[in-house]
Every structure is written in C-alpha cells, then in structure tokens.
C-alpha cells in the first residue's frame, strides 16, 4: 500500500491499513510527516510532539515513512503504480486563493502558508530557507512581522493563525480583514438547530490582540519607489440580499475608500483545490467541478483503477476531524478492494453502533 501525503488523512489511512495487516509506505514530499498539522497550524495551537509521538508509534507498528519524496517529481508515480497493490492520494488542498489586484507583485505581499510554514520550521529549529526545490512554498527570504503593520486578508482559521504568529513576532499592529459581514454571535432564524451555524468566532489569537474589520475589500497594494509594500487601498462594502434564498451581493460604500499603512500583507483567503500539475495529471484522475480529485463520498475510489483519495484533496479545504474521518473510511474501502471484505471500523460499522 502506498499513501501519498502524510497529513491527518494520510496518517489515518496508513494507521488503519497497517492495522488490517497491509504493508504500508507513506510518501511525503516535505522534511517531516504531518502535513498542515506540522507546517500550517502553529505550535501555540498544536505542539508538534503530539505528531512526533503518533508517527513514532506508527513506525514501531510497521508503517514506513519516506520523506523528501515528492511523488510526480523525484518519485515516479508509474513506479508506485507498478510496486503497490493500491494507492491512496491524500496530498491536501494546496493551491491558495490569490488576490490579483494592482500591486500584488510588491515585496511584502505573501500567501499565509509561506509565512506560517516558515515560522513552523523556525520554531522547530529547522533550516526554513532550505528545501525550496520541493514545491513546499518556502521562499528564499525570511518573512518576519516584527515592527511591521500587518494586515491579514481573510477571516478564517488560517488568518487567525497569522494574527497569533504576527503578535508573537512583535508586529507594530495586526489587523484582519474579512470581505463578508460580521456574523452574529448567536443562532438566528435562518440557522436553526441542528444546522451548522455560521457564528462569530473569536480565537485566542484574536483575544491576544488584533483589529478586526468585516465587509471590507482590498482594491490595491501600494508600494514605495523600491517596490516595497507601504499601504493598502481599501473600501467598505454594503451587503444586500436581493430576495430570500438568493445569494447576497455587495456594493462599495461611496466615500469609504482609504489607504491603510501596511508593510506585510498576508493572503489567507483559503485554498482553491489540490495541485493538479504533476502527480494528478500524470495519473489521469478526474476532477470534480471545484477542481478536487473526484471520488464519491463513501467510496473514495477515483476513476483510475486501484487509486483512492481522501481528505482535503477529495473534499476541498476542510477540518482535521474530516481528514481523519476520510482517511479511516477510505482505508476500509481499500481493504475491501484488496481483500473482498473488511473488518476495519467505519462510520456504518463501528463497535459504538452496538451501544445505540
Ligand atoms: C493555517 C491552517 C490552520 C488550520 N487550522 C485548523 C484548525 O484549527 N482546526 C481544523 O480542524 N483544521 C484546521 N485547518 C485545516 C486542516 O489543517 C486541514 O483540513 C487538514 O490538515 C487536511 O488534511 P489532509 O491530510 O487532507 O491534507 P494536509 O494536511 O494538507 O496534508 C497533505 C500532505 O500531502 C503532502 N503532499 C502533497 N502532494 C504530495 C506529493 N505529490 N508527494 C508527496 N507528498 C505530497 C503535503 O506535503 C502534505 O504534507 C487549518 C489549515 C490551515 C492551512
């Protein structure tokens, strides 16, 4: 069994398949296993000894980890397809959403993951400027928020992690922008229990200090003569819903355009889909209409024989719990494919079901 990608989906799939008695090798292009658990989420939210302990247990149980193995680049997928009876694609959703407004090319405008990944490596005592050749988004320059006016563009978990990291770097100021209006603190009539409520989330990073703005758009990055970012041109937005059930629309608030000092802008607007060039295109997997690897929920099989997929690579950017769940469910499907049936637990076949 080959598992490509060692984030929570890949780790969960590998652990379960190993438990079922298969020989499992995990291929990871980065220096260490863990995916976004290690290189996205900062230590102040998840200390890395937790991942190290789990990986060590898995190694003792027989799982092989091959790091610095970028499948589709320095490891050929055709070799893996020949050598392994089944392949699980769990490479995550790694292409970040960009903000293609004037000035995007200025020095000081960066994707959030470039900043967070470098900091996670710095905290781990690793050479964070090395390995630029493994498509790990690492830039050959040091990114520090120290003494800078930082604006984080994007109001989600990634943005919140940038806020916490910038404060730890001792930024001059930290501001977070969100295009959408401020969500309510409590459920409203349009999000009754048990639907998933879109409520205001205030994290410990926000509590540590940040200015938060909602309904605001960045129209331009403004630079100095040397090409360094010095300000953002922003505008307030007014959101309206044309009719119930129709998507909300925004218009710019007249006269609200202004420049905000900023020497470091971090783009944390989510991820569009997995990296398609290389491994995925070479394999010939189908993509869904969002650009993720296509495989039905509950089946996890792609259109390519013996190739399965799980986690953010299949469902799009999501949560750790979903990645773990998908990895476990996918493992059962792979086990069924290889053995004809499976005794691995799944959501439909769990010992917990007998207590219901
Ligand atoms: C900054 C940040 C903060 C987040 N905070 C939270 C949070 O607080 N709570 C939460 O629940 N979720 C959070 N998430 C989301 C969560 O981290 C992801 O949903 C989850 O990690 C997805 O797991 P995965 O295994 O599918 O992919 P990933 O964790 O992305 O792992 C994919 C792995 O595959 C490797 N890989 C990719 N291509 C190849 C290849 N060709 N060859 C070899 N290896 C390859 C990558 O290097 C990576 O290690 C956060 C995400 C980010 C970016």
When pLDDT is averaged across residues 63-90 and rounded to a whole number, the result is 98
Backbone phi, psi, residue 215, to 5°: 55, 55
Is the confidence at residue 341, as pLDDT, over 80? Answer: yes
Is the confidence at residue 229, as pLDDT, over 80? Answer: yes
What's the token pair of residue 121?
A: 């490596």
Q: What is the pTM of this model?
A: 0.94
Is the confidence at residue 135, as pLDDT, over 80? Answer: no
* Contacts for 272 with CB less than 8 Å, ≥ 6 apart: 93, 95, 96, 97, 290, 291
When pLDDT is averaged across residues 51-75 and rounded to a whole number, the result is 98
When pLDDT is averaged across residues 236-264 and rounded to a whole number, the result is 93
Contact 5, 90 (CB under 8 A): yes
More confident residue, 72 or 195: 72
Task: Determine the distance separating the centroid of ligand 1 and the alpha carbon of 10, expressed in angstroms.
Answer: 10
- Please name every residue paired with 229 in a beta bridge, in sequence order, or none if there are none: 223
pLDDT in tens, 260-307: 999 999 999 999 999 999 999 999 999 999 999 999 878 999 999 999
Q: For residue 179, which of 227, 213, 229 has the smallest C-alpha distance?
A: 213
Is the confidence at residue 134, as pLDDT, over 50? Answer: no
* Contacts for 34 with CB less than 8 Å, ≥ 6 apart: 6, 7, 11, 48, 51, 55
Counting from 1 in the atom list of ligand 1, the atom nearest the Cα of 36 is 29
Distances (CA, A) of 76 to 70, 116, 167, 280, 304: 9, 29, 42, 12, 16
CA dist 87 and 19 (Å) reads 17
What domains can you pick out in the chain, each with its CATH number?
Answer: 2-94+272-355 (3.50.50.60), 98-267 (3.50.50.60)
Of 68, 91, 120, the residue with max ligand 1 atoms within 8 A of its CB, to mutate for a pocket test, comes to 91
Kindly list the protein residues whose Cβ atom lies closer than 6 A to any atom of ligand 1. 4-10, 27-30, 35-37, 40-41, 45, 69-72, 90-92, 116, 157-158, 161, 279, 311-313, 317-321, 323
pLDDT of residue 355: 64
pLDDT of residue 195: 87
Task: Determine the distance separating the centroid of ligand 1 and the alpha carbon of 92, expressed in angstroms.
Answer: 5
pLDDT in tens, 27-47: 999 999 999 999 999 999 999
């Amino acid at each position: 069994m080959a598992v490509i990608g060692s984030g929570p989906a890949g780790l969960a799939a590998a652990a379960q398949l190993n438990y079922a008695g298969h020989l499992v090798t995990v291929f990871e292009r980065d220096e260490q296993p863990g995916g976004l658990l290690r290189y996205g989420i900062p230590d102040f939210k998840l200390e890395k000894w937790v991942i190290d302990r789990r990986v060590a247990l898995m190694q003792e149980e027989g799982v092989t980890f091959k790091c610095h193995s970028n499948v589709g680049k320095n490891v050929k997928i055709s070799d893996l397809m020949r050598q392994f009876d089944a392949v699980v694609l769990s490479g995550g959703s790694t292409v970040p959403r960009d903000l293609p407004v004037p000035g995007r090319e200025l020095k000081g405008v960066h994707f959030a993951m470039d900043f967070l990944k470098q900091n996670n490596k710095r905290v781990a005592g690793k050479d964070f400027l090395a390995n630029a050749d493994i498509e790990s988004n690492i830039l050959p320059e040091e990114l520090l928020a120290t003494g800078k006016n930082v604006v984080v563009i994007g109001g989600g978990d990634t943005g919140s992690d940038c806020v916490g990291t910038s404060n730890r770097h001792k930024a001059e100021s930290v501001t977070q922008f969100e295009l959408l209006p401020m969500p309510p603190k409590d459920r409203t009539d349009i999000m009754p229990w048990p639907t998933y409520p879109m409520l205001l989330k205030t994290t410990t990073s926000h509590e540590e200090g940040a200015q938060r703005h909602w309904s605001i758009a960045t129209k331009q990055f403004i630079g100095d003569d040397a090409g360094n970012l010095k300000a953002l041109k922003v505008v307030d937005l007014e959101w309206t819903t044309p009719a119930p059930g129709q998507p909300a629309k925004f218009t710019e608030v007249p006269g609200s355009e202004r420049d905000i000092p900023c020497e470091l802008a971090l783009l944390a607007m989510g991820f569009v889909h997995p990296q398609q060039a290389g491994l995925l295109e070479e394999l010939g997997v189908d993509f869904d209409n969002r650009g993720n690897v296509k495989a039905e929920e509950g089946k996890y099989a792609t259109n390519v024989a013996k190739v399965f997929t799980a986690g953010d690579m299949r469902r799009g950017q999501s949560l750790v719990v979903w990645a773990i769940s998908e990895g476990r469910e996918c493992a059962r499907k792979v086990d069924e494919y290889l053995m004809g049936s499976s005794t691995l637990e799944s959501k439909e076949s769990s010992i917990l079901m007998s207590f219901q």
